[in-house]
């Protein structure tokens, strides 16, 4: 992974040492048992440099040194009162005027106060992700930012080049790779792209001079891929409870549990944000953190990598199943999921009413209950999914009650089993064929190379592996 910076930059080890020393002088405690260093294929990671037992606190951060919406907002407001109108950025709404003479200082102070109040309200209107991306964007442009040694070790925009979001937003000849993605991954990338543009618009609505899309996407992705959960009472949603913690954010992901985050009280009423090992390590072992039980499709979209062997692998057949529910037929290339859910359909309305619309998946050995329900609904007539409006044939009433009993878990749904298996097998045959086509396409495309091809191939191989396992089980 390339690091941010230019030709004059010092070696990575020196930049890491500089960041560590700056953090330590700010009260961060880093165990002598760990060391951050470059790891082939994974950027920077954290390694045990002595035997580290389970239960050791390896990093401890005074919460006031974290970079999160709370500390970023405080820094932004301080800047307004310190710099007044000479602030590098001015708000879209009523910028304050520089007052030239001492006589006008009182008036100026009042103006700064009013400005700060307005600014605080505007900042409060941003989500945590928007606020942090805005803050990183601004700080990255400052020569004297207190976060410069952190920025010196963050990935460059180039290092984010494997993310579908970057292909979608910046293209750089890669937009067409989006068409190689499985439908569910494509949908995830599209959703992120929408969120990204929405966030940029929100930030620009309070500060028009956020013009550099490349710098903003870099900031947005640093926040997206490096933030950890951190509870803040003022955060409006769980998703807003996020913080950056330099060094902690060097830990790479594993689907095994390695470490946990703890917030605890220290001396003098200081609160600490700490990282604690949950297993022991030998010298040279990499110390990981689980980012969550994520599939490779999720990891690719949110973080730009996939795991060679992922415990949370699944096959998403939402697009394929929605096409059957809506149109009563299969489609060969399914990127139609959005389209299918937007169209009025009694079966989709019915599934939605019961909380079973979308997210149809299979793991290597199980079919999710949501998928079973959707398969059952796919085989009944549309009028079974409508509420009765008067007299109706008894058979329809019976079938509706059998379906509802299955959905609510009161019946095994054996009535639906055979047809569900047949429909699923037909979908899985299509999945296998589609995987072969897409694998051949990606492999033949010489521009789709390196890590990007490796990740796409991994997604299709996984899909194919799960589809074949179920076809073997159910044929
Ligand atoms: C929180 S950062 C971890 C530190 C990062 N490696 C760095 O160089 O700064 C998350 C990023 O690390 C990389 N990463 C994390 N876990 C990985 C893994 N198991 N394999 C490959 N890359 C990984 C991805 O680029 C991801 O976006």
User: From residue 4, how far is each of 162, 177, 245, 424 by CA, in Å?
Assistant: 16, 25, 18, 48
Q: Which atom of ligand 1 is nearest to the CA of 39?
A: 6
- Average pLDDT over the chain, rounded to whole? 90
Helix H, strand E, coil C: the string for 334-363 is CCCHHHHHHCCCHHHHHHHHCCCCCCCEEC
Assign 253 to helix, strand or coil. Answer: strand
For the stretch 88-107, pLDDT in tens is 566 665 444 444 566 666 77
Q: How far apart are the first and last CA of the chain?
A: 45
Instruction: Transcribe 422-448 into DSSP letters.
Output: HHHHHHHHHHHHHHHHHHHHHHH-TTS
| 431 and 470 Cβ atoms separated by less than 8 Å | no
| 58 and 275 Cβ atoms separated by less than 8 Å | yes
Q: Are strands 315-316 and 242-243 parallel, antiparallel or unpaired?
A: unpaired
For the stretch 332-359, pLDDT in tens is 554 555 555 556 789 999 999 999 999 9
| Banded pLDDT at 117 (limits 50, 70, 90) | confident
- % pLDDT > 90, the chain: 80
249 CB near ligand 1 (under 6 Å)? yes
Residue 48 bridge partners (DSSP): 34
Lowest mean pLDDT of 62-66, 167-171, 283-287, 388-392, name the range.
Answer: 388-392
372 CB near ligand 1 (under 6 Å)? no
Of residues 421 and 84, more confidence is placed in 421
CA distance linking residue 459 with residue 461, whole number of Å: 6
225 CB near ligand 1 (under 6 Å)? yes
- % pLDDT > 70, the chain: 89
162 CB near ligand 1 (under 6 Å)? no
Q: What is the best residue among 36, 38, 43, 294 to mutate for testing ligand 1's pocket, by most ligand atoms within 8 Å of CB?
A: 43
Q: What is the best residue among 243, 248, 252, 300 to mutate for testing ligand 1's pocket, by most ligand atoms within 8 Å of CB?
A: 252
In the block, residue with structure tokens 């190689």: 180
303 CB near ligand 1 (under 6 Å)? yes
Helix H, strand E, coil C: the string for 281-326 is ECCCCEEEECCCCCCHHHHHHHHCCCCCCCCCCCEECHHHHHHHHH
Its pTM stands at 0.91
| 357 and 348 Cβ atoms separated by less than 8 Å | yes
| 160 and 214 Cβ atoms separated by less than 8 Å | no
The DSSP element (H or E) to which 87 belongs, if any, is none
Across the range 259-272, mean pLDDT stands at 87
Q: Specify the pLDDT at position 4.
A: 46
Which residues, including other chains, have CB under 8 Å from residue 243's CB and lie 6 or more apart?
Answer: 66, 67, 68, 227, 228, 229, 230, 273
**Among 153, 6, 40, residue whose Cα is nearest residue 451:** 40
The interface pTM score, or ipTM, of the predicted complex is 1.00
User: From residue 299, how far is each of 38, 43, 162, 306, 310 by CA, in Å?
Assistant: 20, 15, 11, 6, 10
CA distance linking residue 307 with residue 289, whole number of Å: 14
Q: Specify the pLDDT at position 287.
A: 97
Residue 3 bridge partners (DSSP): 155
Residue 399 has pLDDT above 50, yes or no: yes
Residue 3 has pLDDT above 60, yes or no: no
Report the nearest-CA residue for atom 4 of ligand 1.
250
The DSSP element (H or E) to which 265 belongs, if any, is strand 259-265
| Banded pLDDT at 115 (limits 50, 70, 90) | confident
Half-sphere exposure of 62 (CA within 13 A, CB side): 14
In the block, residue with structure tokens 């999914």: 385
The distance from CA 418 to its chain's CA centroid, rounded to whole angstroms, is: 38
| Banded pLDDT at 266 (limits 50, 70, 90) | confident
């Amino acid at each position: 992974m390339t690091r941010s910076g230019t030709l004059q930059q010092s070696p990575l080890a020196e930049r890491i040492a500089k960041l560590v020393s700056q953090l330590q002088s700010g009260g961060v405690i880093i165990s002598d048992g760990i060391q951050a260093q470059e790891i082939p294929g994974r950027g920077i990671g954290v390694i045990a440099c002595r035997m580290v037992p389970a239960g050791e606190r390896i990093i401890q951060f005074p919460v006031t040194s974290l970079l999160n919406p709370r500390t970023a907002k405080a820094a932004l407001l301080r800047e307004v009162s310190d710099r007044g109108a000479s602030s590098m950025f001015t708000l879209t709404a009523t910028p304050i005027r520089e007052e030239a003479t001492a006589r006008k200082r009182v008036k100026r102070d009042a103006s700064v106060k009013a400005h700060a109040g307005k600014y605080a309200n505007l900042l409060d209107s941003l989500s945590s992700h928007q606020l942090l991306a805005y803050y990183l964007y601004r700080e990255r442009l400052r020569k004297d930012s207190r976060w410069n040694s952190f920025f010196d070790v963050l990935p460059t925009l180039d290092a984010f080049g494997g993310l579908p979001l970057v292909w979608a937003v910046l293209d750089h000849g890669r937009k067409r790779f989006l068409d190689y993605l499985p439908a569910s991954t494509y949908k995830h990338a599209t959703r992120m792209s929408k969120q990204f543009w929405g966030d940029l618009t929100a930030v620009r609505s309070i500060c028009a001079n956020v013009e550099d899309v490349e710098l903003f996407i870099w900031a947005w992705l640093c926040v997206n891929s490096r933030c950890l959960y951190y509870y803040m009472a003022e955060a409006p949603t769980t998703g807003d409870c996020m913080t950056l913690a330099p060094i902690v954010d060097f830990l790479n992901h594993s689907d095994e549990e390695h470490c946990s985050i703890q917030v605890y009280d220290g001396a003098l009423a200081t609160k600490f944000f700490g990282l604690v090992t949950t297993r022991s390590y030998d010298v040279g072992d990499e110390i990981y953190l689980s980012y969550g039980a994520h599939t490779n499709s999720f990891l690719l979209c949110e973080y730009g990598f996939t795991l060679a062997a992922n415990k949370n692998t699944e096959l998403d057949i939402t697009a394929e199943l929605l096409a059957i529910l809506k149109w009563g037929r299969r489609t060969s290339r399914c990127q139609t999921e959005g389209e299918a859910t937007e169209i009025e359909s009694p079966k989709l309305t019915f599934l939605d009413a019961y909380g079973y619309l979308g997210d149809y998946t299979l793991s290597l050995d199980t079919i999710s209950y949501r998928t079973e329900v959707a398969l059952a609904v796919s085989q009944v007539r549309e009028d079974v999914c409508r509420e009765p409006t008067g007299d109706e044939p008894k058979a329809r009433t019976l079938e509706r009650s059998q379906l509802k009993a299955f959905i609510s878990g009161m019946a095994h749904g054996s009535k639906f089993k055979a047809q569900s298996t047949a429909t699923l097998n037909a979908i899985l045959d299509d999945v296998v064929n589609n995987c072969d086509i897409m694998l051949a396409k990606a492999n033949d495309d010489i521009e789709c190379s390196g890590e990007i091809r490796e990740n796409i191939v991994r997604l299709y191989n996984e899909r194919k592996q799960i589809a074949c396992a179920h076809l073997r089980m159910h044929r």
